[in-house]
Structure 1
Amino acid sequence: MVTIIPIDTPTLGDRSYVAHDGEVALVVDPQRDIDRVLDVVHEAGVRITHVFETHIHNDYVTGGLALAKVTGAAYHVNADDQVSYDRVPVRDGDVVEVSPALRVRVIATPGHTYTHLSYALEADGEQVGVFSGGSLLFGSTGRPDLLGPEHTHALVHHQYHSANRLAAELPEQAQVLPTHGFGSFCSATQSEATSSTIGQEKRTNPALTQAEQEWVDELLAALDTWPAYYAHMAPANAAGPDAADLSAPATADKDELRRRLEAGEWLVDLRSRTAFAAGHVRGTFNFGIDGQLATYLGWLIPWGTPVTLLGETPEQVAEAQRELARIGLDRPAAAATGSPEQWTDDRLGSFRTATFADLAQVRHHREVAMVDVRRTPEWDEAHIDGAVSLPLHELLDRLDEVPDGEVWVHCAAGYRASIAASVLARVGHHVVAVDDSFDEQAAPAGLPVVATARPLTVGS
């Protein structure tokens, strides 16, 4: 009998897996903070003997090598991957005997990368699942464009054939166990599913139900941009990263925080967007610990800029430090906890938060600028007529396009709007952050929401 335990990283949209037979365990695609894996196997009372990577990851720094070193496990990586560390090279068709009860068959599934592998898991002679990494996902596949446009055409066709190979070679009851697809930008499209089987995917996944060219055309048309920090992940993973250093950063006092601000470093306030808007140290950025902190901080920050974390509690700082270590932002320059009054003697900054109904009411009385920081596909689907589209990930490079005067900034739900508001307030704009649901509230509030040059009515 085999037990499969997923380890979710919802802020990055990924899963790692532990599979064990009650005595020995294998691990697939572990994240950088390997203490989570060690806790799982300790609780299960098993030992790790094998670690597998489906591919050289683009969206996080792996913990695979570090985990193998700590546990003495064999570290299985594609023989064709160019890496600078020792590993057990594996290729298509190889079979790894994990224990008398557990076997892993290596299946080449190029598409997300050229050297992507999937791992079919056999327990007591039964094919129980496949660790599909960034190949076959729930209702989708991994995106084929992360290696650059010159490779996308070849990879998207590889991806189609890889997904269909898995569907052809595995029984319908086999579990599909992907690494991506839970909000990760490595997924071509998103699904709400939390589990699936080969049979279910054969009935519902477009990669398995559509003709090849039809699927290719639709998938490529759906692709959007990806976080800028992805450019640093594959080189880090090929180099063989160490485990995350999660020891507490040094504590900074008011004078040090001021010096760091004046030096152009990033001071990141981890509090909620409501708390930040009510009062914050001027010049700081708001990346709340309650959202996709690592994704958006990693996307916006000039790589290599020192980061100081400001949190209400040491636990907030520790959580943020863990999140950032997963994408290679390893050691915060410093940290401070408490409240903004404890971080500066200067007058605090603040800005108003509001709803879409508030925006609609204000527009009856005066002209205000509206900045929409959602990504372009979101804007294309529906936006407020008269708003300016400045996607959050482009904002720092397009500050000269921000309108003068009072600026109302919004996103889909409020998290990105608060980040953008902190950026705009830092450079002196009079900003109002809309903390509200665009899809549910903008049109009902009476705002002129349009899509493809067509007005939307309530309920459309």
Structure 2
Amino acid sequence: MFFADVLETEGLGNRSYLAGGARAAAVVDPPRDIDRVIAAAARRGVRIVAVAETHVHNDYVTGGLELARLTGARYLVPAGASVAYARLPVADGDTEEVDEGLVLRAVATPGHTPHHTSYVLEEAGRAVAAFTGGSLLIGSVGRPDLVEPRLTEHLARAQHASAHRLAAQLADDVAVMPTHGFGSFCSSTQANGDHSTIGTEKTSNPALLQDAEAFVKELLTGLDDVPAYYTHMGPANAAGPAPIDLTAPERADARGIARRLAAGEWVIDLRNRVAFSEGHVAGSLNFELEGQLATYLAWLIPWGKPVTLLAESAEDITRAQRELARVGIDRPAAAAVGSPADWTTGGAPLASFPRATFADLTAARERGENPVVLDVRRDAERADGWIEGSVHIPIHQVHQRLDEVPAGTVWVHCAGGMRAAIAASVLDSAGRDVVAVDDGYAAAADAGLSLVSPAQH
């Protein structure tokens, strides 16, 4: 009897899979921190005999090369992918035995990338699961615009054809097990649900319900912003990533933190946004460990800029280091644990700023304070409506466009509060007076704020 275990990487919205039988297993699209995979195989009591990549990933650094090296497994990579290391090139129709009666069959599914390949797990000749990578997702497909702008429409059409190919080849009860789509920006739209089958997708996935022209038009219109760090992931994966290094970073004292800030390095406070707003090292930035740390820090930071991490515990530093290594931020320059009082020198005062709700914003306007309202949601979110009179700079552009923020106290909001806290810390570090709106955007209308809809604009 086969098994297919899910290995979640929640911060990036991705999944990897360990699938096999009684004695052996294959791993599909492994994360960089392969100790998780090895531990999962040990719990199952199986030997990893194959490691399969569906494509050269654009959103995270793979651990596939190192996992194959450590375990002696065969490393399956699509034949069309240009990579700089030895691997077993896989073409459409190739099969790889995993365990007795269990075979992985490669199915060419271009679209997310030109060389994208899905893997169908067959038990006794019958398909039981499809590892679809960035092809057919749950209620969506992988985005086609990450490789080359000139190929985007061509790849969008290929996505439609690939989805139909999978649906035609596989029975309705075959499990659909994608890598992307659980919050990943590699998904063309944010899909709902954790489990699906080919039959379910036939009744719910636009790629299988629309004709090619309608699908491509809607897909291209709905594409969201691309995280800046994606530019670095593909080349790193094609070159062959170095093994992950999770040894503890150098410890930083208050003087060292001050020196790093003075040198223009990024000092990241991992505490929750409430604690940060109440008191923090002046110049530090707030990326909550409980938020999408890897996605947003990697998106905003100038690539290669040294990072120092501040947290309440060594465990938090360790967790953050693991998350950042998954996206190629390999070694924090330094780290410190404790509280802001431990991270400042000579009794230097802590910086702080207020938090507020949309009702507080309404009250401030009614008092005639004329606050600057900064909306840091993405373009796709803003397109559905915005607060009248607000300025729009997406979160990932705020640090580059500070001169566009009007003078005055800046009330910054997003859809829920986490990104507003990041932007507020960026503005605060630049010396601006800021208020972080820690509230759900749906509360803006209830608070009496005038909203503008696209139809009115």
Relative to the length of structure 2, the TM-score reads 0.98
How far apart are the structure 1 equivalents of 2:159 and 2:253? 52
**Residue 353 of structure 1 corresponds to which residue in structure 2?**
355
**How many angstroms does 1:148 deviate by?**
2.6
**Residue 87 of structure 1 corresponds to which residue in structure 2?**
87
**Residue 257 of structure 1 corresponds to which residue in structure 2?**
257
- Does the alignment pair 1:216 with 2:216? yes
**Residue 426 of structure 2 corresponds to which residue in structure 1?**
423
**Residue 167 of structure 2 corresponds to which residue in structure 1?**
167
How far apart are the structure 2 equivalents of 1:257 and 1:23? 51
SS at match of 1:378: helix
Q: Which runs of 5+ in 2 are unaligned?
A: none
2:454 aligned residue (452, 455, 460) = 452
**How many angstroms does 1:453 deviate by?**
4.4
SS at match of 1:247: coil
How far apart are the structure 1 equivalents of 2:431 and 2:340? 19
**Residue 187 of structure 1 corresponds to which residue in structure 2?**
187
**How many angstroms does 1:243 deviate by?**
2.5
SS at match of 1:371: strand
1:327-349 deviations in Å (ceiling 9; x for gaps): 00000000000000000021100
How far apart are the structure 1 equivalents of 2:397 and 2:260? 24
How far apart are the structure 1 equivalents of 2:342 and 2:101? 58
SS at match of 2:99: coil
RMSD of aligned Cα (Å): 0.9
- 1:48-447 equivalences in 2 (<5 Å): 48-345=48-345, 346-366=348-368, 367-439=370-442, 441-447=443-449
Relative to the length of structure 1, the TM-score reads 0.98
How far apart are the structure 1 equivalents of 2:99 and 2:383? 52
SS at match of 2:449: coil
User: Which letter does structure 1 place at the counterpart of 2:352?
Assistant: S
Between 396-405 and 166-175, report the one with greater CA deviation. 396-405
How far apart are the structure 2 equivalents of 1:116 and 1:364? 56
User: Is the CA contact (8 Å cut-off) linking 1:32 and 1:325 kept in structure 2?
Assistant: yes
How far apart are the structure 2 equivalents of 1:152 and 1:453? 29
How far apart are the structure 2 equivalents of 1:23 and 1:71? 14
How far apart are the structure 2 equivalents of 1:435 and 1:101? 54
How far apart are the structure 2 equivalents of 1:407 and 1:88? 55
How far apart are the structure 2 equivalents of 1:191 and 1:253? 44
Q: Which runs of 5+ in 1 are unaligned?
A: 456-460
SS at match of 2:274: helix
How far apart are the structure 2 equivalents of 1:405 and 1:193? 43
SS at match of 1:27: strand
1:284-327 deviations in Å (ceiling 9; x for gaps): 01000010001010000000000000001011111110010000
How far apart are the structure 1 equivalents of 2:148 and 2:270? 33
**How many angstroms does 1:192 deviate by?**
1.5
User: Which letter does structure 1 place at the counterpart of 2:371?
Assistant: V
User: Is the CA contact (8 Å cut-off) linking 1:277 and 1:351 kept in structure 2?
Assistant: yes
User: Which letter does structure 2 place at the counterpart of 1:394?
Assistant: Q
How far apart are the structure 2 equivalents of 1:97 and 1:37? 20
Go from structure 1 to structure 2 and tell me whether the alpha carbon gap of 1:390 and 1:30 turns closer, same or farther (over 3 Å shift). Answer: same
User: Is the CA contact (8 Å cut-off) linking 2:52 and 2:64 kept in structure 1?
Assistant: yes
1:147-189 deviations in Å (ceiling 9; x for gaps): 1321101111111100100000011100000000001000001
**How many angstroms does 1:98 deviate by?**
1.5
How far apart are the structure 2 equivalents of 1:5 and 1:243? 23
How far apart are the structure 2 equivalents of 1:309 and 1:102? 45
**How many angstroms does 1:97 deviate by?**
1.4
1:387-437 deviations in Å (ceiling 9; x for gaps): 000111111221111111111000000000010001000111100000010
How far apart are the structure 1 equivalents of 2:22 and 2:414? 47
How far apart are the structure 2 equivalents of 1:295 and 1:272? 17
User: Is the CA contact (8 Å cut-off) linking 2:22 and 2:99 kept in structure 1?
Assistant: no
1:108-134 deviations in Å (ceiling 9; x for gaps): 000000000000100123210110000
How far apart are the structure 2 equivalents of 1:279 and 1:114? 49
**How many angstroms does 1:142 deviate by?**
0.3
**How many angstroms does 1:449 deviate by?**
1.5
**How many angstroms does 1:269 deviate by?**
0.3
**How many angstroms does 1:39 deviate by?**
1.0
**How many angstroms does 1:373 deviate by?**
0.3
Query: Matched residues, percent identical?
Result: 57
- Does the alignment pair 1:24 with 2:27? no
1:343-384 deviations in Å (ceiling 9; x for gaps): 002110000000111111111002111000000111110210
User: Is the CA contact (8 Å cut-off) linking 1:67 and 1:243 kept in structure 2?
Assistant: no
SS at match of 2:318: helix
User: Is the CA contact (8 Å cut-off) linking 2:20 and 2:98 kept in structure 1?
Assistant: no
**How many angstroms does 1:452 deviate by?**
0.8
How far apart are the structure 2 equivalents of 1:432 and 1:320? 26
How far apart are the structure 1 equivalents of 2:344 and 2:410? 26
SS at match of 1:57: coil
1:251-270 deviations in Å (ceiling 9; x for gaps): 01111111111011000000
**Residue 458 of structure 1 corresponds to which residue in structure 2?**
none
User: Which letter does structure 2 place at the counterpart of 1:361?
Assistant: A
User: Which letter does structure 2 place at the counterpart of 1:200?
Assistant: T
How far apart are the structure 2 equivalents of 1:49 and 1:242? 21
How far apart are the structure 1 equivalents of 2:372 and 2:74? 58
User: Which letter does structure 1 place at the counterpart of 2:354?
Assistant: R
How far apart are the structure 1 equivalents of 2:243 and 2:199? 37
**How many angstroms does 1:101 deviate by?**
1.9
How far apart are the structure 1 equivalents of 2:211 and 2:66? 42
User: Is the CA contact (8 Å cut-off) linking 1:110 and 1:135 kept in structure 2?
Assistant: yes
